[in-house]
A and B are shown apart, each in its own frame.
Chain A
Amino acid sequence: MSQPSALSTNGLSRRKFMAGTVSAAAAAPLLASRAEATAPAAAQPKLRQPVITSLRINKQAYELSLDARTSLLDALRDHIGLTGTKKGCDHGQCGACTVLVDGKRVLSCLSFAVMNDGKDVTTIEGLASTDGKLHPMQQAFIDHDAFQCGYCTPGQIMSGIGCVNEGHAESENDIREYMSGNICRCAAYPNIVAAILQARGETKGA
């Protein structure tokens, strides 16, 4: 007889459990009303005063009260509970934290969240359509087994979409060069290139 695991007995996967604690903790900084939010910011800004930041993430509006030092990556993961975007190096060297800002791929670890006020952010959670159909790039990564541990994968997929939309996925060499900002410790590189080649046509402009 199989033993139920500790996590499945209370009906929660580890992933859901982690995400749950994060969004509960994030409830405080998520602000209720814009009026309440803008009042302090209008005055002369002071040290250690939270900064009100509006972000549109995966087409949903968020209003956050943040320590100005918070990176976009930490805002996504720790304040909003979107943990799909990964923290690898936290210093711009690995690409795991790649998201799209106003359609362009950037590193969320090197961007202060407050600098993205009013911008449109797309994370890995925002790619699949509401009916659960995966984005062609996500499907291609599955079809080509383009990962092993999966840690770099959200960043690879976001970067792959950016790479195609920038027009730099014309050849395999092009893809290798223009995807070099995404390190894969499991070295799934050949499969990643194959996945991007497959998704290229369907991704353009998507």
Chain B
Amino acid sequence: MRPFVYEQPTDISTAVAIASRFATDDDQPTRANAQFIAGGTNLADYMKLGVAEPNHLLDLNQLKEAALRQIQVTDGGIRFGALVRMGEAADHAEVNRRYPVIADSLRLAASGQIRNMASLAGNVLQRTRCEYFRETSWQCNKRVPGSGCAAMDGFNRQHAVLGVSDACIATYHGDFAQALIALDAVVHAEGGHGARKIPFAKLHRQPRDTPHVETDLAAEEIITAIEVPAIPWARRSLYLKIRDRESYAFALASAAVALDLDGETVREARIALGGVATVPWRAGAAEEALQGKKLDEASAGAAADAAFAGAHPRQHNAFKIELGKRTLVRALLETRDMKV
């Protein structure tokens, strides 16, 4: 591992100032000299592997702003401080009551130990587990821009079929982000140019021809909170995750679903797909396909077909299209049948 200077800023503006001092203008957070660490479950792993090489490690855990560690429930929704741990949010009574899809997505992720360590902001910013990205001897456009992509013709069973480009097909593996994008969450960030709000759907960037640009954040920008708007009917929501084993594994395919029903007719559907795309993936075409329809096996199937219409499989991951569709159909029908 490359040596680094360890610092513990005690307020947000100091942390931003230190990070700014080491950042150049179009520096990506993941390539900057100074990088933030929260739970460390993603960054420490990548530092050990030589994939991340910060010279300065800024520990966010001593920041004194209390809201960073709070879950605030209001009439207008729920606000998660960036340093709240996954386990705490997963067990929170109001999160479970108002947004089962959020609680499920956290509970079904990682392990008890990791959920105690990992922060919510770190979770949404977790980097891909692409094997060729993790091992520095392979060609990888995300790790070394312009070097090529060993996954393209490699063993790409885990890779994405949606949102891919000729430069990168790495899956975004997080679960929580699927619930957030489905519910139109908003990210609060503070950086060198002050505070701003980012719609969750704009936080992650598709790889296109710059897969090393992973998010909309500047190198010195800190996520301070994630806000989920009030959606009373989101009590009818769930997260379905399909994996190689029953627990402690990333999704091969998953679906975050929330439904506003009038009897069996869909007034509004929210759908996001995990394990199959390069970024958190809102399935807008599937939502439209369901609007005003009676939700049954046939309409759910048609929505799933719409969700995967633009899929681009490679040699080993074509199974994800069928698996992803069946996952979505099951998730829709189970959500319909929820007793709320």
Contact = CB atoms under 8 A, between A and B. Distances in A.
A47 B5 contact: yes
Nearest to A111: B40
Contacts of B7: 45
Interface in A44-101: 45-49, 51, 67-69, 71, 90-92, 95, 98
A47 B3 contact: yes
Instruction: Describe A's contact surface by its main secondary structure.
Output: loop
B45 interface: yes
Interface in A113-147: 114-115
Interface stretch (A17-25, A102-110, A197-205): A102-110
Contacts of A112: 6, 37, 40, 44, 57
A115 B112 contact: no
A163 interface: yes
B48 interface: yes
A112 B44 CA distance: 8
Interface residues of A, number: 37
B41 A177 contact: no
A147 B206 CA distance: 46
Contacts of A92: 41, 45, 114
In the complex, which of the residues A48, A104, A159, A162 has the most CB atoms of chain B within 10 Å of its own CB atom?
Answer: A104
Contacts of A45: 5-7
Contact of B45 (A49, A69, A91, A182): A91
Contacts of A148: none
Given A92-B41, A107-B117, A112-B6, A163 B61 contact: no
Interface range for B: 20 to 34
Interface in A9-40: none
A46 B56 CA distance: 10
A115 B116 contact: no
A166 B112 contact: yes
A157 interface: no
Given A106-B117, A176-B247, A111 B44 contact: yes
Contacts of B1: 69
A197 to B, nearest CB: 17
Contacts of B139: none
Contacts of A110: 39-41, 44-45, 114, 117
A134 to B, nearest CB: 23
A90 B113 contact: no
Nearest to A178: B112
B307 to A, nearest CB: 28
A67 B113 contact: no
A106 B40 CA distance: 11
A153 to B, nearest CB: 16
Contacts of B57: 68, 112
18 contacts: A45-B5, A68-B4, A69-B4, A90-B48, A91-B45, A91-B48, A91-B49, A92-B41, A92-B45, A106-B117, A110-B114, A110-B117, A111-B40, A112-B44, A115-B59, A162-B112, A168-B112, A179-B112
Given A46-B5, A92-B41, A181-B248, 6 more contacts: A49-B5, A90-B48, A95-B111, A114-B6, A180-B248, A182-B111
